[in-house]
Amino acid sequence: MSTAEIPSTYDPRLVEDKWYSFWEKSGFFHTTVNAEQEPFSIVMPPPNVTGQLHMGHALDNTLQDILTRWKRMQGYNALWLPGTDHAGIATQARVEESLAKEGLSRYELGREEFLKRVWVWKEQYGSRITTQLRRLGASCDWRRERFTMDEGCSEAVLEVFIKLYQKGLIYRDYYITNWCPKCHTTISDIEVEHLDQPGHFYHIKYPFKDGGGHVTLATTRPETMLGDVAVAVHPGDERYRDLVGKILILPLVGREMPIITDEYVDPSFGTGVVKITPAHDPNDFEVGRRHDLPQVIVIDKEGKMSEEAGPRYQGLDRYECRKKIVRDLDAQGYLLKTEDHAHAVGHCYRCNTVIEPMLSRQWFVKMKPLAEPSIEAVKNGRIRFIPERFTKIYLNWMENIRDWCISRQLWWGHRIPVWYCRDCEEMTASKAPVKKCARCGSLNVEQDPDVLDTWFSSALWPFSTLGWPRQTLDLAYYYPTTVMVTGRDIIFFWVARMIFSGLAFMNEVPFRDVFIHGLVMDALGRKMSKSLGNGVDPIDVIESHGADSLRFMLVTGNTPGNDLRFHFERLEGARNFANKLWNASRFTLMNLEDFDPEGRPGAYTLADRWIISRYQAVINDVTGYLQAYELGEAARVLYEFIWSEFCDWYIELAKPRLYGKTNQTDRYTAQSVLSSVLKGALELLHPFMPFITEEIWQHLPGHGVTIMRAPWPAARGELIDQDAEHEMGALMDVIKAIRHIRGEMNVPPGRRAEVLLVAPDKAVRAVLEKGTGYIEALAGAAIKTHKSLEQPPEQAAHAVTRGVEIFVPLKGLIDVDKEVARQEKELAAVEKELARVQGKLSNPGFLSKAPADVVEKEKAKEEELSSKQTAIKERLSMLTGGK
């Protein structure tokens, strides 16, 4: 085997495209039903068809790929099914922006022509994100790729709508919904992001009709008062008992309205009096229904004041209207006071526009009947959340769920399959187009113009992608899927909806496990966003550092459910790890050129037994962590084993048998262990870093077609050697102690130290004597081992570890006077800096004015400098004999 085949430095660009193309063209990602094999299945959370890869996608898909590659190597028939979502609001907005550049609107084009444009857009940009996922290394079965509006998924959507409608679980009604004035559509409650922002409480007096005084109430939205139809107090509030039933006059409008009682009112909040605006507040809407109050719509779908707002305010933007109303209230003596008040304001999650509660006729799904079995499925353990704390969050939401508004005022999406007769108003739900009214025979029928919420189709994803409503072999074999991997931010958007959909239409849960991960934040812990300009493009990172480095950085230090901060230093660390692995592999391959895989090794040395035993433990640890979804811990174990134990220790321990005057059997034994442990470590690492592991693995003796198809390593209990691990651990600690002394005392690297080891315990001495060669080779020392010493040597650095005293005489090893001068200079610098820090910390002004984190940093610095001062003094005392 020639090392000329493997470059001296690792360049991901030369490796990644080559191997991904090989895997995909060879069909290694593709799987088919095999009754003899246990299935593992996972469906990809479908990214927006017009989107592009962001760090959230990179994390989510890296985790899925790790699980899929691991299970594939374990021998499962592993299916990772990819696909994209039509993303109704986002995609339509993109196309409308494109049309606007041409001076056109969708209304000018008409629905049919507009939809043609959207499909063209989808074909042009829809493959961008799937191409980027390939760059990440996603081992999806691309031959099965689905789209939420492909023929099969669309059939599933129609089937579900009709069945729910026929069961009375889908209905149409007037209701308050969240309206986005920019996207021009309703959005569901969970698509509203509530952001804290500064505002005001406006205290307004509402006079009695009979002129006998007024009541005072406070509101944050005075523009909605134009739609007030009542004022409410709590039925148990004694302050207002005598006022109930009296009539008030609405300021600026003159509308008469009653004072009513309702349990909804919180008597301890504000004045205990609330205005009731049924057309512009969901809680007021419910109060209005209970009391049969009128509904006055004063804000339209553009976010402007309607005709009902009156001629003085009609046509004004809602915020301009607010300013004008406040001025008018003040001028007419109705505004009593204004207080600053920060409060949560709902924003559209797509465009960040402040949403407007709007009364409109929409389609809804009755959620209570669907939620009950979904709650039970989690409570009885048929579905489990990882980490478990998300179970409570899910159950709390499901137990308090409201009906789901599923209609959207868009053209792009699954159009609601309901037709209306213009003549007799008959309403017909049908999978097939309705041409004629079944009730009156009229041909004057039209389809509902709205489309279904995008989440309606993605709620069916685990079974619609496998062929449902047809009873396919894939559906019977791969459903329910094994695990759903998703971010903590879409438990309600998607996970809950998939659960109730799967139970309702498959009579089975959609997945057994829900593996929740956090979000990728910037280095300061903020969400990545365009507005902040703090986003990091995964493709840029792949170009500069390689996909493996990005993947490994995203998974290391990542614990289930917790957010992850993106640090470029951690990315550099992942790339350094890849380079370390590459260099160690080159060294190994360089020393395998005469290796015969068919040969027979001789007796294992202590180092051999140690690394083989440690490798068995690593197999068990990594496999156990993967089974527990602790992917970050699995990556940590591999990092520490490969970087430290294999590269830094075993390779160095093996070098004398590879380079020295040794017999061929000893050389072959070292080659055999190096080769087998490296090969196994690569196979364990492959799910995390697929490209570099494939490239190196292909150069090792005895490799197969692809590392992807290599069997997952299995630990062999008989190779676990606790004695070897204990003995080697003791020798390593001694070597580290000697190295530390050399570094502290500035001993030149090439100068050999005379080291005395004192071990009263016979067994410990035996270990030291057996490992003398290792210590001498790796510590640059000549070793003498003693049971005891009558008197410690003069001017000797001293350390104790594992019951072993270590003495390194410095006379003749270093220039003592010169080293004393160096240490004294360093001590002076440390003490000067320590005095400066202590001066700061003794200054009351600094302690009272400086931020807490700055003070803590100074305290930590003081502790570090104090420790350094003590260590230098101890070294000086040893060098000078305590003088």
Strands 247-249 and 170-180: unpaired
Place of tokens 């007021």: 284
Identity at 713, one-letter amino acid code: P
Q: What are phi and psi of 167, to 5 degrees?
A: -85, 0
Q: Under a CB-based contact definition with an 8 Å cutoff, are residues 554 and 545 in contact?
A: no
- Residue 527, annotated ligand binder? no
- Tell me the C-alpha distance between 777 and 230, whole Å: 90
The CA distances from residue 25 to 28, 138, 249, 379, 665, in Å, are: 8, 14, 76, 44, 42
Contacts of 396 (CB under 8 A, 6+ apart): none
The 10 Å Cβ neighbour count of residue 780 is 19
Q: Is the dihedral of CA 445, 449, 452, 454 positive or negative?
A: positive
According to DSSP, the residues that pair with 757 across neighbouring strands are: 785, 806
Residue among 188, 209, 365 nearest 282 (CA): 188
The tokens of 459 are what? 């709620």
The tokens of 265 are what? 């009112």
- Tell me the C-alpha distance between 286 and 292, whole Å: 10
Burial class (CB in 10 A: 0-12, 13-18, 19+), 820: middle
- Tell me the C-alpha distance between 359 and 347, whole Å: 17
Q: Under a CB-based contact definition with an 8 Å cutoff, are residues 521 and 563 in contact?
A: yes
Strands 418-421 and 445-447: antiparallel
Residues constituting the chain? 883
DSSP string for 256-303 = EEEEEE-TT--TTSTTSEEEE-TTS-HHHHHHHHHHT------B-TTS
Residue-wise burial string across 614-628, b where 16 or more C-beta atoms lie within 10 A, e elsewhere = bbbbbbebbbebbee
Strands 83-84 and 146-147: parallel
Which secondary-structure segment (H or E) carries 340? strand 335-340
Give the residue ranges of the annotated binding site: 530
Give the residue ranges of the annotated binding site for ATP: 530
